[in-house]
Structure 1
Amino acid sequence: MKTLIIYDNEGYILSMRSGEPAPREPVGVPFLWVDIPDGKRIKITDGIGVDTSVTPHQAILEDIPPSEVDVLSQQVADLQYQLMMNGVI
């Protein structure tokens, strides 16, 4: 889904909107339409989420870290594998 990012000249994000109907593009303010891939999110550091040092400007993306449930599920799977390899189960 496309996301509208409205930002200032330093890359400070003022607003992020998505959904239907598509948000109106602003007039006189920098903005980007961004497709955020699955497993990614906008990386915002001190409000800055757009790299304005490159042309065209680009949103700064980062991987979404695994949730606590995902981490615990992986630990359970690893322990089950270890038990299976040791002949316990």
Structure 2
Amino acid sequence: MNTLIIYDNEGYILSIRQGEPAPREPIGVPFLWVDIPEGKRIKVIDGIGVDTSVTPHEVILEDIPPSEVDVLEIQVADLQYQLMMNGVL
């Protein structure tokens, strides 16, 4: 889904908008339209989420860390595999 990111000249994010109908583009304020891939999120440190040191400016993305449930599911699968390999299951 297209996301409108409105930010200042230092990359400080002022607003993140998405949805239908598409939000109105601001006038006189820098903005980016970005499509955030699945499994990624905007990395914001002290409000800064846009890299303004490059041209064109780019949103800073990071991987979404696995949830506690995801981590537990992986651990259960690993334990089941180990038990199976040891002939217990």
* TM-score where L is the length of structure 2: 0.99
Kindly state the Cα deviation for residue 79 of structure 1 after the two structures are TM-superposed: 0.2
> 2:84 — aligned with what?
84
Determine helix, strand or coil for the equivalent of 2:14: strand
Q: Distance in 2 between matches of 1:20 and 1:70?
A: 31
Q: Distance in 1 between matches of 2:5 and 2:18?
A: 9
Runs of 4+ in 1 over 2 A off after TM superposition: none
> 1:69 — aligned with what?
69
> 1:7 — aligned with what?
7
> 1:22 — aligned with what?
22
1:59 and 2:82 correspond:
no
Kindly state the Cα deviation for residue 82 of structure 1 after the two structures are TM-superposed: 0.2
C-alpha root-mean-square deviation of aligned residues, in Å? 0.2
How many aligned positions are there? 89
Unmatched segments (≥5 aa) in structure 2: none
Q: Distance in 1 between matches of 2:82 and 2:19?
A: 45
1:32 and 2:62 correspond:
no
Unmatched segments (≥5 aa) in structure 1: none
Kindly state the Cα deviation for residue 61 of structure 1 after the two structures are TM-superposed: 0.2
Q: Distance in 1 between matches of 2:34 and 2:68?
A: 28
Kindly state the Cα deviation for residue 16 of structure 1 after the two structures are TM-superposed: 0.1
Q: Distance in 2 between matches of 1:74 and 1:40?
A: 20
